[in-house]
């Protein structure tokens, strides 16, 4: 079982993560983009892929694909899909991180490896050491130098396929970022923003969507404009962190590991690890109920109930998220 630590506090964990990213990004999945298209088209309503079907996909690309597919499967609620905009946002991403962590443990031959987290509310600055070439690489422009210089993107979302968009398969290119360029999101969330989120008394409320009152919607970042917390980090980094294929950038998992840490801190302070809705599977908001199956392309599906307690897989070094 891994311990998840601050990416800027643990040189060993950061180095292992970067090494694992490169290994997975260079491990063939055995499938081309066309292979994937032929599998998904008859199974996923509205599925659309364009571009170069001959592109050989890596194991990392399959995680990007999984995220894009889940984002394109709509369900009840405003701006809600099978991974975002509703209660399942946090457990679905917890499952997603668990599966990526397991893949990294395999390629690193280290069953105790833990995904590091990026505490953006503590560290968030354009000139942070995180963006050095020896770490994550530049946050402005193309990541063509340093540890991730050889990391390649092959799938880019062009809007959601549920809304007429498509997944574009293309020849490999470098990661792109455009940190702090969005005029409405020049800065990252602060510790005071995290503290306000931690004060939310309930996990979620009807109608279980982007207009809900509760911890999940506050942390996801839909409460007001400009967007907050989780959403704000995606917009602030920009580039490949913006579309539904945002797992193309390894910083995605550092970001979501911190989001998961904030959720775990909130749960740790509340008896019973509350989650709503708890009703009949498939009711209210299909895919978001406590015992609904979550979308999984890699490995067996699980329900939110299965992942409310992460202790079988990992722990955090620190749950003091407000300081």
**162 — pLDDT class (breaks 50, 70, 90):** confident
Q: Is residue 41 part of a domain?
A: no
Predicted pLDDT of residue 127: 85
Q: Is residue 172 part of a domain?
A: no
Taking the C-alpha atoms of residue 34 and residue 49, their distance in angstroms, rounded to an integer, is 9
**Domain count of the chain?**
1
Segment 247-292, tens digit of pLDDT: 999 999 999 999 999 999 999 999 999 999 998 776 778 899 999 9
Q: Is residue 30 part of a domain?
A: no
For the question of whether the overall pTM of this predicted structure is more than 0.75, the answer is yes
Q: Is residue 64 part of a domain?
A: no
Q: Angle 11-25/89-108 helices, nearest 10 degrees?
A: 90
Q: Is residue 149 part of a domain?
A: no
Segment 205-220, tens digit of pLDDT: 999 999 999 999 999 9
144 CB neighbour count, 10 Å cutoff = 16
CATH at residue 220:
1.10.1280.10
Taking the C-alpha atoms of residue 75 and residue 293, their distance in angstroms, rounded to an integer, is 13
CB-based contact 226:184 (threshold 8 Å): yes
Q: Which residue, 240, 219, 244, is CA-closest to 295?
A: 244
Taking the C-alpha atoms of residue 80 and residue 207, their distance in angstroms, rounded to an integer, is 11
Predicted pLDDT of residue 77: 72
Predicted pLDDT of residue 276: 95
- The dihedral formed by the CA atoms of 26, 28, 29 and 35, expressed in degrees to the nearest 10: 120
Residue 323 pLDDT exceeds 90: no
Predicted pLDDT of residue 225: 79
Predicted pLDDT of residue 204: 97
Strand-pair category, 166-173 with 153-158 = antiparallel
Predicted pLDDT of residue 80: 86
| Cα atoms found within 13 Å of the Cα of residue 111, Cβ hemisphere only | 3
Domain residue limits at 101: 2-25+81-141+177-316
């Amino acid at each position: 079982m891994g311990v998840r630590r601050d990416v800027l506090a643990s040189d060993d964990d950061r180095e292992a993560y970067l090494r694992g990213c490169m290994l997975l990004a260079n491990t063939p999945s055995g499938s081309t983009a066309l292979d994937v298209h032929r599998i998904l088209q008859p199974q996923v309503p509205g599925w659309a892929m364009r571009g170069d079907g001959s592109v050989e996909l890596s194991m990392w690309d399959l995680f990007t694909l999984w995220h894009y597919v889940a984002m394109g499967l709509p369900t009840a609620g405003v701006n809600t899909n099978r991974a975002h905009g509703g209660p399942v946002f946090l457990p679905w991403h917890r499952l997603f991180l668990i599966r990526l962590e397991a893949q990294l443990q395999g390629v690193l031959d280290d069953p105790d490896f833990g995904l590091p987290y990026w505490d953006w509310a503590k560290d968030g600055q354009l000139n942070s050491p995180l963006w050095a070439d020896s770490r994550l690489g530049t946050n402005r422009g193309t990541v063509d130098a340093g540890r991730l210089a050889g990391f390649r993107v092959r799938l880019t979302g062009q809007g959601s396929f549920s809304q007429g968009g498509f997944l574009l398969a293309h020849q490999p290119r470098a990661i792109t970022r455009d940190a702090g360029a969005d005029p409405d999101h020049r800065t990252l969330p602060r510790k005071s923003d995290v503290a306000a989120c931690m004060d939310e008394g309930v996990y979620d409320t009807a109608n279980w969507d982007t207009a809900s009152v509760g911890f999940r919607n506050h942390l996801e970042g839909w409460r007001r404009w400009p967007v907050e917390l989780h959403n704000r980090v995606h917009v602030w980094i920009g580039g490949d962190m913006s579309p539904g294929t945002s797992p193309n950038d390894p910083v995605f998992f550092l970001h979501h590991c911190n989001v998961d840490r904030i959720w775990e801190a909130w749960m740790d302070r509340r008896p019973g690890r509350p989650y709503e809705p708890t009703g009949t599977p498939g009711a209210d908001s299909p895919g978001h109920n406590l015992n609904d199956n979550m979308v999984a392309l890699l490995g067996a599906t699980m329900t939110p109930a299965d992942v409310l307690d992460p202790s079988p897989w990992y722990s955090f070094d620190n749950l003091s998220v407000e300081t």
